[in-house]
Amino acid sequence: MRPPTFKAKKGWIPVDPFRQIATERGFIPSDGSDRRLMIRYFKRKSGPGLTARVWFGPDSEGPPRHAHGGAVAAVLDEVLGAAAWVMGLAVMTARLTVKFRKAVPLGTKAVVETHVRRAGKLRVVVSGKLTDESGRVCAEGEGLFLKVPDALWRRGKAKGGLP
């Protein structure tokens, strides 16, 4: 089982949310080098939010022939946070809530659609849905993210990590 090639659909613009601020890559690879997960990010020409195409590979197995719930949760954490990063906000997860609706078979090419619900002075709330190729909702998530102050972010990056 090999990772697919995700191409932009009409009206989608490929983006790399994490390079826009501070890091060289996200937690989940986008280059197909991992047999667990692969993710590609897209911004729509119209409307807010971020879309991600995700592949659940053979090494993401939990229940037989299905993705581990932790892999699904990691994808939601990554994509919901990325939606804030695309807005130019360096954030860290404070709380993640996941509702599992349907098991995700290995090899699934899923889509995650996000919606930034609130962006305040210190906190950002983002929700999203992970759907399979048929459009069925497999999981829903909501994340509360804390903004990392620019000075703290720069200092942490220079020292190799946040204090």
What are the structural domain ranges in the chain?
A: 12-159
Chain mean pLDDT for the chain: 86
Residue that the structure tokens 């890091």 belong to: 23
pLDDT digits (tens, 9 = 90+) for 111-154: 999 999 999 999 999 999 999 999 999 999 999 999 987 766 66
Range 2-6, long-range pairs (CB < 8 A, 24+ positions): 2/32, 3/32, 3/34, 3/38, 3/55, 3/57, 4/38, 4/55, 4/109, 5/32, 6/38, 6/40, 6/53, 6/55, 6/109
Q: Percent of the chain scored above 70 by pLDDT?
A: 85
pLDDT at 159: 57
pLDDT at 122: 94
Give the tokens for residue 104. Answer: 């995700």
Q: Name the residue type at position 34.
A: D
Q: Is the pLDDT of residue 31 over 70?
A: no
Lowest mean pLDDT among 5-19, 89-103, 143-157: 143-157
98 in Cβ contact with 112 (< 8 Å): no
At residue 153, φ and ψ (nearest 5 deg) are: -65, -45
pTM metric for this prediction: 0.87
Q: Name the residue type at position 140.
A: E
Per CATH, is 12-159 categorized as 3.10.129.10? yes
